[in-house]
Structure 1
Amino acid sequence: MNTRVLIALDTLDMTSTTLATARSFFPHAACHLLHVLPAVPQTVSSLGGPVVLVGTDQPSRNEAQQQLRALGDGELVDGGDPASEILRRAASDAFDLVVMGTSGRRGLSRMLLGSVAERVVRESARPVMTVRQAGHGPASRILVLTDFSSAAHQALSAAQQYFPDANAHLLHVVSPTALTAPLSLAPAGRAITAASLAARNREWVQEAREQLARLGGGEIVEGDPAEVALARARSGAYDLIALGTAGRDGFERLMFGSVAQQIVRESPIPVLTARSLDLAVQGA
């Protein structure tokens, strides 16, 4: 069964890195292009003075329609909210995956598209591949960043499903602060000592090794998860990063969400993200 890919385009031109990367990574997929036309202020006069109406003028739409047809099959949406339009389609059964860029060309466009991408990554019911720079697929070397959460398992499953011939390298990054900071984890009335911290850390690392072994093996390193992943991405050793968009619960979930946002914003290679199935069902 062919993968059905929704490609969200911020520009309608042949030089689109998002479109080129999507076609490179999914050469046999059924692709559907989506472009949301910006709302163009139009001023008309009335007895009470000028009135500004928000809409898309017809000549611009006609031109955009011709440009879209030159790129492939797809649809235009007049003056909608890009993130909402993408998420609505991702929540349907029409698509398996969303591909989109993470930044516009300049100025306000760049900032707005970045926020659109972050919202789609957080809320999409389907896996999302974000593109900051042109990538070349299909992916043969994938870095899978895992915290062993449901979302991380979904990201691994998506990577294996869409790139079955790729070599997936699992990486678990232990933050130094996670190993030393949380005093609240001490049993009531018992002081935390260096020895108890060391024992707990050994237990965490051993648990991580066991979980990695069950997944087929991987690597454990200490550091800032986003910075470690981005350094690996910049090394040229990988074609794609895959990760979940939320951690296990509470503060850990918040922190892993921020890790995903930083990687999506800064990664020089495409990033495949996925949510927990439970969260995706709740948000749909």
Structure 2
Amino acid sequence: MSHTLLAATDFSAPARHALERAALLAQAHPDAQLTLAHIVSRSALDSLRRMLPGDAAALEAQLLAQAENKLQALATNLAAHHGCRIDTVLAQGSALAALVELTETRQTDLLVMGVRGAHFMRELLLGSTTERVLRKSRRPLLAVKQRPHSPYRRILAPVDFSAHAAAAVNAAHAWLPDADIVLLHAFEVELESTFQLAGMSDDQIHAFRIQARDTAQDAMNAFIDTLQVPAHRLTREFVHGPATLRILEHEQAMDADLIVMGKHGQSVMEELLLGSITKHVLTHSSSDVFIAGQA
């Protein structure tokens, strides 16, 4: 596969972390091409024209030139430090529309974005650009939360045995062939709470859990057979309980530095359903999050 990356920046510190991570990924692949992108808000330019009609053209040109200079300086610094090929693109418009268009027209293999803010602010801020790009773009996305210090080594991949989950694991391995991947499946017994309310014994419920785990193990074996990942890179884990809770618990227990999630489809209904597990993990995890679906 090719290794083209588009890293978006608004020149903030979280965005700088995303650029550093993108450069680290590019450094690991000799054929990689990294593009740094900055989007100048068209609404801001329109406001400038309304407020200062006489000076708007000169100020707009100055603003764009400053942004271009900042972008070029970042590219020069990263290229010198990481020894990778980097170019830049300055676009105008809404961040969402411009980023989606850039990833498609450039056939980007991976879009890299920073996530702003401390944990208690993420839920508010994450929904602005990162989540909306995820919903609209067909390309894999890496949401960077932590300042990068080294390549990813410990990947947690929650799986539901779907083709989307397999595509995400394969895509992550293609970028990170030296990382170990823990395949985590959280299972529950259908109607377990109803059984408990009906007075079913703990032993009976435990038997149902064992049956559910056995079924999950068979499904995991079949799932692994579909992956393009060497067996020695994979570890399988099964946990009972709600997926969102168990994923975050396992992230902390194994000290994961990346979580890989599958994205399910592009329809309006699927976009709404994205909000359940994937959105929860994207919002509440400490680790960076890699999200991909079927091409």
Considering the TM-score relative to the shorter chain, is it more than 0.5? yes
Specify the code of the residue in structure 2 equivalent to 1:65. Answer: E
2: CA distance, partners of 1:182 / 1:150: 31
State the distance in 1 between where 2:206 and 2:270 align: 20
- 2:212 is aligned, of 161, 183, 204, to 204
- Shifted more, 159-168 versus 199-208: the winner is 199-208
Identity, % of aligned pairs?
Answer: 29
Task: Choose 30-39 or 217-226, whichever is displaced more.
Answer: 217-226
How many pairs align?
257
* Cα 1:3–1:45 shift into 2, 3 Å: closer
- Return closer, same or farther for 1:229/1:257 CA change in 2, 3 Å cut-off: same
Partner secondary structure for residue 218 of structure 1: strand
User: How well do the aligned residues superpose, as a CA RMSD in angstroms?
Assistant: 3.8
How far has the Cα of 1:59 moved from its partner? Answer: 1.6
Where does residue 77 of structure 1 map in the other structure? Answer: 91
**d(CA) in 2 for partners of 1:235 and 1:213?**
24
Contact 1:124 1:275 in 2 (8 A): no
**Structure 1 residue 96: Cα displacement:** 0.8
CA contact (8 A) 2:126 2:283 kept: no
Write the letter of the residue equivalent to 1:76.
L
1:35-82 deviation line (CA, Å, top 9, x unaligned):
111332226489xxx9xx9xx82221111010001112211112x121
TM superposition shift of 1:142: 0.9
Asked if 1:260 corresponds to 2:278, the answer is yes
Kindly state the Cα deviation for residue 90 of structure 1 after the two structures are TM-superposed.
2.7
SS at match of 1:42: helix
Kept in 1: contact 2:14–2:145 (CA 8 A): no
Corresponding residue number in structure 2 for 1:64: 67
CA shift, 1:234, in A, is: 3.5
Q: Is the 8 A contact 1:104 1:110 kept in 2?
A: no
Change (3 A) 1:58 1:158: same
Change (3 A) 1:173 1:179: farther
For normalisation by structure 2, the TM-score amounts to: 0.72
1:116 Cα deviation from its structure 2 partner: 1.3
Seen in structure 2, the aligned counterparts of structure 1 residues 149 and 63 have a Cα distance that, compared at 3 Å, is same
The answer (yes or no) to whether the contact 1:154–1:274 under 8 Å persists in 2 is: yes
Unaligned runs of 5+ in 1: 184-191, 278-284
Residue number among 40, 45, 48 corresponding to 1:42 in the alignment: 48
The alpha carbon displacement at 1:115 in A equals 2.4
Normalising to structure 1: TM-score of the pair? 0.75
Over 3 Å counting, the alpha-carbon distance change for 1:136 and 1:146 in structure 2 is: farther
User: What one-letter code is carried by the residue in structure 1 that aligns with 2:216?
Assistant: A
In 2: Cα distance, 1:14 partner to 1:252 partner: 29
Q: Contact between 2:115 and 2:145, CA under 8 Å: does it hold in 1?
A: yes
